[in-house]
Structure 1
Amino acid sequence: MPKNVADSELPTHITSLRETFLRQEEFDQTYLFLPPPQVEDKKRKFILKVFHPCLSPEQFVRFIVSFIPIVGWLPDYRWKRNLMGDFMAGITVGIMHVPQGIAYAILQGVDPVYGLYSSFFPVLFYMVFGTSHHVSIGSFAIISLMTGTSRAEILETIHDEYLHDEGHYLEQVAQLGYTSVDLRNITDYVPFHLKGVSGIQVVTVITLCVGFVHVSSSLKKYLQLLMALLRVEFVTSYLSDQLVSGFSTGASVHVIIVQLDKIFQVPVDFVDVQSVNGPGGMLMQLVSVLSKVGDMNVVTFLLSMCAFIFLYIGKDCINPLFRKKFKCVPLPFELMLVTLATVVSYIFAFEQRYQMKVVGVVPVGFPSAEMPRLELIPYVYKDAFEIAFVIVAVHLSMCKVFSRRHIYSTDNNQELYAIGLTGVISSCFLTYPVSSALGRSMLMEESGGKTQLSALFSSALVLVVILWLSPYLQYLPMCILAVILIFSMKNIFRKRDELQCLWRVSKVDFAIWMFSFICTVFTNVMWGLVLSVAFALLTTVFRTQWLEDYDFCTTAELPRWHLLSRLEGTDDYRDTGRYGRVTDIDHIRIFRFDAPLLFTNVDHFRSAVEKATITCPVMSLATLDNVLEVECPNKAIRKKCAVKRTSFKRSISEYHDSAMRRIEHLIIDCSGFTFVDFMSVNSLIEIYQQTRYNGIQVYFAGAKAPIRDMFEACGFYKSVSKDHFYPSIHDAVQAANMNQQIRLFKRAKQKRVDAEVTKIENAKFLSNSCVDDRKISIECIKAQTPIENDVEEFCMQQQQQHSNERECTDRESSTDQDDPDNQNTRTTYLSDRY
């Protein structure tokens, strides 16, 4: 209630309005609002949460078992209901694991047998630790490409360092005057991380890089385990669906270009691996391959084309008809192609007759377990972080998709533990980094898979290949694996519908997709991911700060500010530009800003408040800039009401009687503030003071508890009283109505007082009028216009009458000074007469 106005002076209809609303403080007291927890309480809760499993042996055992979900779901497994579906899905996915594992191992530059290992061990371990029922863990093209790129760069770095140390050692030997030297002693002088590595081993490590690749991959998996321990799965939220889609498509281009030399079987040699893996490296490799097409192996190229035709006819023509008719799992044409190509290559001796590259000898059995070389961490940790984040982002997104589709829950943090522990344990068995693959996961779902137990049957099939069938793979042509890889990428490039939808719905999301794709293609996979994330974060700032000023953005993208009005017959307040049956409240404007109030957009907030109050101070509604021409409801639904909204476009005359009433109360709906920073709080104080200076009362409605806590911490309430805060918009409107009634009451009272004073002043002015002034006026009139004698005589009579009245007034003024009643009567008389 305004100051200097007592309740006793106000009419009853105004004082009764005070009972219709609550201030924020009154609301908190009524409903026992609890203050935020203190720092000590947070520390205590954190300590209890960390050490809670160690309070008793039972809790410790329960904590350990929680990391092994199979202990919980296996005893309750529905054998009759799920076993057959899991068996069929496991065998089907296992058939896919064999050719894909071999192909992705070649993509990483390691022997094919390690692809079989990576299709066996991680699958079993994820079955123990994972919570998703349908994702298929194993080889993934994008991760294989990133790992292969990282492997090549790290090997070249170590090779350069070794040669530098070897040259330094030889210089020292030459200075000592020795004529011969045993190079085996060089290991005593090179850095510790190269201990036990001879010169010939470093040269041939690109070919025989079995252990090194898996050391680097195991370190990547340790990072995933660290992510789980630190509970940083939120980091993956920075990888939006559009970013991942554009990045995956761009990385698929890299996969295809890398495999082209195997399709044509042309030699592609690069002196500097890092230059090839750097910006424009893929284009350099593409140009190099195309420039040597004339030297290609014709038989290899023809076999590759036949393989493409075989897969296209089988997977895109026969499989849809076969599944439609027999309602069963699709035929494994990849495995058929591998078997057929191996048999034909063995019979016709492609390697000897046509110098066709084949897989070569594949060892039988499993390798002995060995620990990764942790001293290589300084070389791999940068790339490891990027690969770990991509694995987690892809895996968690697929877990979310299948859990929603089949209505079960997955634990994101447990999934981090699962993928991390799977990698850590598998790294001891010479496996490369793995992730969930969408193609195999979809195949598992279509094949009837119900639980993680299907992984047991797929691993069993891979085990058969490792123990007994792997020797027969040595005649498999390398071009067949390249064809399988390239053909598996075809669905990734079917993005026309997705891009059209993005262009229609969100130009910014479309820009994120295109930027991620272009950066990944023209730089490399690592830099493409980094630049894509940076650009996506930049668009977030762009959305919250400047986006409203650009016409190419759709309505759904804009961090709009709105004017709200009351819906007819309710106490609900909605966007005026979206509803037609609304009531605009006289003298009150309700303002809402749908964005966090940060230093990046506080200037935009300030200008929005200025537009809503100062620039157009008369009452008006936020209207549609262009009226929807809706021919039918279906057309309106198709258009999704995609219109631009602006404020103050309608003329003042359209608002009838209430249009010219000025704004005297501004209600800021704070429910749209998800976060405020220190700078925005200070700016909000300045906006409040400037608005009050312009004669507008400010109210804050619906501020969340964290926002009010931030106001308290920043000293906001020292400049703005808590009496200006209200729990809802309706409470603020009721308070504004009461204050407006008080203002009107004060104005009416002041108007009556001013009227009395004006009457008295008018009477005094008339009584003190000078006769000479009237004579001058008459002379001026006579000089300007011809006056008849009767008019002049009338004016002289009026002048004499005024002179007499003045003398009478002077005589009575001294006697009536002590009699107010007579004075008021005389003032009224004079006012009525003149």
Structure 2
Amino acid sequence: MADPPSPDSLSKNPIYTEAELEEIAPRSRDSRARLFSSVRNKFRCSGEIAKSLLLKFIPILSWLPRYPVKEWLLGDVISGLSVGIIQLPQGLAYALLAGVPPVFGLYSSFYPIVLYTIFGTSRHISPGTFAVISVMVGSVTESLVPSEDFMTSQNDSNIDTEARDAARVQVASALTLLVGIFQILLGLVQFGFVVTYLSEPLIRGYTSAAAIHVTLSQVKSILGVAISQGSHPLSLIYTFLKLCSKIPQTNIASLLIGVIAITVMFTVKYLNEKYNSKIPIPIPIELFTLIVATGISYGVNLNKLYGVDIVGNIPTGLKAPIVPRTDLFASVVGNAFAIAVVVYAFTISLVKMFAVKHGYNVDSNQELIALGLSNSVGSFFQCFTIGTAMSRSLVQESTGGNSQVAGAVSAAVILVIILKAGELFESLPKAILASVVVVNLKGIFKQFKDIPALWRSNKIDLLVWIVTFIATILLNLDLGLAVSVGFSLLTVIFRTQWPHYSILGQVSSTDIYRDVSQCEQAVEFPGVKIFRSSCTLYFANAELYANAVKRMCGVDVDKLIEVKKKEAKKKKQLQEKAEKEAKKGLKTKKNSEETNRKVNELEFICPQIPEVKEPETEGDAVYENIEEPTMYNMESSECPFHSLILDLSTVSFVDTVSIKILKTIFRDFQEIDVSVYLVGCHENVLDQLECGNFFSKTITKRQLFSSIHDAVTYISKVHSKKPPTDEGSFNSTVL
């Protein structure tokens, strides 16, 4: 182990306490004035500010005039065509997940994309229908509009599908409008940071569970059976049991179609990934599968001969806008907020990933506004809630997409299909659409590899992942998200309850201080204890912090205080006894003088009387038969260090409870003659300490320093000039 550092090895630079530093560079005291100035600047109106706000709110006005046509246009067109081809089967398939007819998936793949192109800030994501969001919408539509309510008669099992689908479209539109309103409001109040409460393990665990929900919802189409799904807790378990009971009724033709389609698409996608460097554009296997399956179904007439369920009527052309039913808001408000947050969480994670990769900036709050406008305006055209699919976004980026011009091209592809080619897919088996959904979940299912990785790296994050997954499986998507966020926040609270406490030492010949238990080169400075906590200090862990300070310093502070009090009490008793004996001695002296006078008279009369000796005197006091007082052994109450430094560099704020605890620490250690110092306090923490009346005659700003090294240097200078007291301890008064 290295030798303890000496005072001579410390810095020769000037050392300033907080009080001295504020004299040199005073801090601004008027926080109200700063706040007022900030608000005034934000609401100040000028031509430049209005222009910047316009460009911020409508980003296309800033990047489109500077669009490099020669460099980017070809890549964007190729990328847009590729994404549009993929968007077609996904739009049809995800509409079934949302519980609405397939054509509404095409609407949701057109209108929102156009709006995001105008208002979005990301150049590479592909907004539109997304499996996880679609299944969340489907859980709402199927719970509010169950199929059982549309039986043609009590004795007939036939369902009025047109009336049911119309009712579900109204629910989906109302839900989408409310989702958009929430997103716009959150964006306007700069609430984009809400997604920070959705950690990556939480999102990945949630999407993994959602993939299970999505897959199970599509098994019924592959098996060719009809079952109803709910959105209540344990609904996934009940759906699984219903599917098991329906297995004997499986349509063999539908099952074969689904298995063959899944096998073919998985194989081609594997080849696309393996030879992606040699293939300029991935093979659009989903589109080829749709075309081939539609042709076979139409030629063989699978619906009539084998009972294979098909898509059915797909109307061509665009529909006039319709105002969604606002009376449904009360029934879907909770689901709408959950979906709004989940959509934003998925989107912003992809937005930031591509922004970092390609080196451009994005605006998180503007992304919320762009998504909100896409959903709220789209709801008037009977769109259901859209999100951002990772598979399409990766295709858009890998095929040369450089801007949202690619998104506009993909929207144009969907528009052509809506106007002219939609009816060509009326004979498409629903098993094919279900297969498309399942195959595109492959990337999400790969997230189960997180479990062994998190086990090795961070078990708390693994616990968040597992709890999120189980809660979402058992409680469904909306309640599962709420429970997951609550549990994730609890882990943060629990971590602050058990932070890492450490005693720091100086690394030889440096001004760096490290944990002495983890760094052999770090040596404690003689007579100084430096304490640090790894987390902030607030009401929930303030008491634990105080106990840890006393425990880590290696002394029983409370016992030393008790011993000190006993010593003081005993000294006082001895002093009182000495004063009494002194008074008694004075009285004895007077009596002895009277006795001497009488003795002299007797000697004159009778000289044979023996002489009476006068007691020994010392000054004005007489000590006759008084034992020397036994002093208490001061070594038993002596603290092995004279200074304690509390490193508050990790503290981001203090509340009233933590201020009281800090005062208690100062009081207790000063009672055992230990000086306490604070270092690393941020400006806002200093303001909070001042407002909390922390400073007083016994606690001054001369006990605050900017760094540990400054405090240690100051202490070494003070105690090198100060001789120890008679008791062997140092004076706690700070110069």
TM-score band, normalised by shorter chain:
0.7 to 0.9
- Looking at both structures, which has the greater relative contact order when contacts are Cα pairs under 8 Å and sequence separation is at least 6? 2
Is this contact kept in 2: 1:159–1:203, CA < 8 A? no
Q: How does 1:707-722 map to 2 (within 5 A)?
A: 707-718=685-696, 720-722=699-701
Match in the other structure for 1:683: 661
Paired residue type of 1:323: N
In 2: Cα distance, 1:361 partner to 1:19 partner: 84
Name the CA distance, whole Å, in 2 between partners of 1:304 and 1:295: 16
Equivalent runs, 1:95-134 vs 2, <5 Å: 95-134=85-124
Contact 2:145 / 2:167 at 8 angstroms: preserved in 1? no
Displacement of 1:332: 0.5
How far is the alpha carbon of 1:741 from its aligned partner? Answer: 2.5
Shift of 1:484: 0.8
* 1:577 partnered with 2:517: yes
After TM superposition, give the deviation of residue 159 of structure 1 in Å.
Answer: 7.8
Contact 1:586 1:661 (C-alpha < 8 Å) held by counterparts = no
The answer to whether residue 544 in structure 2 is matched with residue 604 in structure 1 is: yes
- Is the 8 Å Cα contact of residues 225 and 246 (structure 2) preserved in structure 1? yes
**Count of residue pairs brought into register by the alignment:** 634
- Provide, for residues 499-541 of structure 1, a one-character-per-residue CA deviation record: whole Å limited to 9, x for no partner: 2221111110000000001111111000110000000000001
Give the structure 1 partner of residue 242 of structure 2: 288
Query: Residues 270-669 of structure 1: matches in 2 within 5 Å?
Result: 276-316=230-270, 318-324=271-277, 326-546=278-498, 559-615=499-555, 662-669=640-647
Q: Contact conserved, 1:587 with 1:661, CA < 8 A, in 2?
A: no
Contact 2:673 2:729 in 1 (8 A): no
Mapped contact 2:187–2:366 kept (Cα < 8 A): yes
CA distance in structure 2 between the aligned counterparts of 1:112 and 1:91, rounded to whole angstroms: 21
- AA aligned to 1:33 is R
Partner of 1:723: 702
Q: CA deviation at 1:57?
A: 5.7
Q: What SS does the aligned partner of 1:448 have?
A: coil
Post-superposition offset of 1:208: 4.5
Q: Secondary structure at the match of 1:278?
A: coil
Aligned residue identity for 1:214: S
User: Given that residues 132 and 403 in structure 1 are in contact (C-alpha distance below 8 angstroms), is that contact kept between their aligned partners in structure 2?
Assistant: yes
Structure 1, 67-76 or 488-497: larger mean CA deviation: 488-497
What TM-score do the two structures reach when normalised by structure 1?
0.73
Structure 1 counterpart of 2:677, from 683, 699, 715: 699
CA shift in 2, pair 1:202/1:729, >3 Å: same
Matching residue's letter, 2:15: F
In structure 2, do the counterparts of structure 1 residues 519 and 36 end up closer, same or farther at CA, with 3 Å as the change threshold?
A: farther
For 1:217-251, what per-residue CA distance to the aligned partner results, in whole angstroms no more than 9, with x for missing partners? 11211111011111111111100000000000001
Aligned to 2:57, the other structure's residue is in SS state coil
Partner residue of 1:246 out of 199, 205, 208: 205
Within the candidate set 35, 54, 60, 2:50 is matched to: 60
- Give how far 1:379 is off: 1.9
In structure 2, what is the Cα distance between the partners aligned to 1:151 and 1:208?
Answer: 9
Decide whether aligned partners of structure 1 residues 158 and 564 sit closer, same or farther in structure 2, where only a CA change above 3 A counts.
farther
* Aligned partners of 2:176 and 2:376 also within 8 Å: no
2:723 aligned to which of 735, 744, 749: 744
Task: Give the Cα separation in 1 of the matches to 2:170 and 2:234.
Answer: 30
Is 1:262 paired with 2:221? yes
| Counterpart residue number, 2:635 | none
CA contact (8 A) 2:504 2:522 kept: no
Q: Does the C-alpha gap of structure 1 residues 290 and 202 become closer, same or farther in structure 2, counting only changes over 3 Å?
A: closer
TM-score scaled by structure 2?
0.82
Deviation at 1:593, TM superposition (A): 1.1
Looking at structure 2, the residues matched to 724 and 750 of structure 1 have their Cα atoms a distance apart, in angstroms, of 19
The percentage of aligned residue pairs carrying the same residue is: 32
Question: Alignment partner of 1:277: what SS?
Answer: coil
Deviations 1:590-630 (A, max 9, x none): 1111211012211221121012224379xxxxxxxxxxxxx
Structure 2 residue identity aligned to 1:679: V
Moved more, 298-307 or 562-571: 562-571
Q: 1:707 to 1:202 in 2, by over 3 A?
A: farther
**1:131-181 deviation line (CA, Å, top 9, x unaligned):** 101110001111111111122333469989xxxxxxxxxxxxxxxxxxxxx
Alpha-carbon distance, 1:116 to partner: 0.5
Report the Cα distance in structure 2 between the residues aligned to 1:425 and 1:338, rounded to whole angstroms: 30
Deviation (angstroms), 1:46: 2.0
Query: Structure 1 residues 249, 36: closer, same or farther in 2, change over 3 A?
Result: farther
- Seen in structure 2, the aligned counterparts of structure 1 residues 68 and 705 have a Cα distance that, compared at 3 Å, is same
Could you tell me which of 16, 20, 24 is aligned with 1:26?
20
Partner of 1:430, secondary structure, is coil
Once the two structures are superposed, the pairs formed by residues 157-168 of structure 1 within 5 Å of their partners are none
Paired residue for 1:219, among 178, 184, 187? 178
Residue identity matched to 2:435: V
Contact 2:502 2:532 in 1 (8 A): yes
Decide whether aligned partners of structure 1 residues 491 and 66 sit closer, same or farther in structure 2, where only a CA change above 3 A counts.
closer
The aligned amino acid for 2:29 is P
Distance 2:146 2:419 in 1: 34
CA distance in structure 1 between the partners assigned to 2:407 and 2:210 by the alignment: 28
Give the whole-Å Cα distance in 1 for the aligned partners of 2:728 and 2:479.
Answer: 73
CA RMSD of aligned residues (A): 2.7
Shift of 1:727: 1.8
Give, in angstroms, the shift of residue 408 of structure 1. Answer: 0.8
Tell me if structure 2 keeps the 8 A contact 1:130–1:414: yes
Matched to 2:688, the amino acid is: M
Q: 1:42 aligns with which of 10, 35, 40?
A: 35
| Aligned CA distance change for structure 1 residues 496 and 142 (closer, same or farther; 3 Å) | closer
Mapped partners of 2:729, 2:54: distance in 1: 79
Please name the residue that 2:649 is paired with.
Answer: 671
* 3-state SS of 1:698 partner: strand
Q: Which residue identity is paired with 1:707?
A: V
Deviation of 1:746 after TM superposition, in Å, equals 4.5
Q: Secondary structure at the match of 1:591?
A: strand
* d(CA) in 2 for partners of 1:31, 1:342: 78
| 2:78 match | 88
Q: Equivalent residue of 2:334, what SS?
A: helix
Given that 2:515 and 2:522 are in contact with CA atoms closer than 8 Å, whether structure 1 keeps it comes out as no
Q: Out of 732-741 and 224-233, give the one that drifted further.
A: 732-741
Distance 1:573 1:59 in 2: 48
Give yes or no for contact 2:80–2:410 (8 Å, CA) kept in 1. Answer: yes
| Partner Cα distance (2:67, 2:424) in 1 | 38
Kept in 1: contact 2:639–2:729 (CA 8 A)? no
Q: Give the secondary structure class of the aligned counterpart of 2:530.
A: strand
Residue-by-residue CA offset, 1:251-291 (whole Å, 9 max, x unaligned)? 1101111111111112324xxx6xx3222111111111111
Give the CA deviation at 1:445: 1.1
Q: Work out the CA distance in 2 between the residues paired with 1:540 and 1:437.
A: 30
Question: 1: distance between equivalents of 2:422 and 2:692?
Answer: 69
Structure 2: distance between partners of 1:157 and 1:589: 72
Counterpart CA distance in 2 for 1:731 and 1:348 is: 87
Q: Is the 8 A contact 1:137 1:437 kept in 2?
A: yes
- Structure 1 residues 377, 314: closer, same or farther in 2, change over 3 A? same
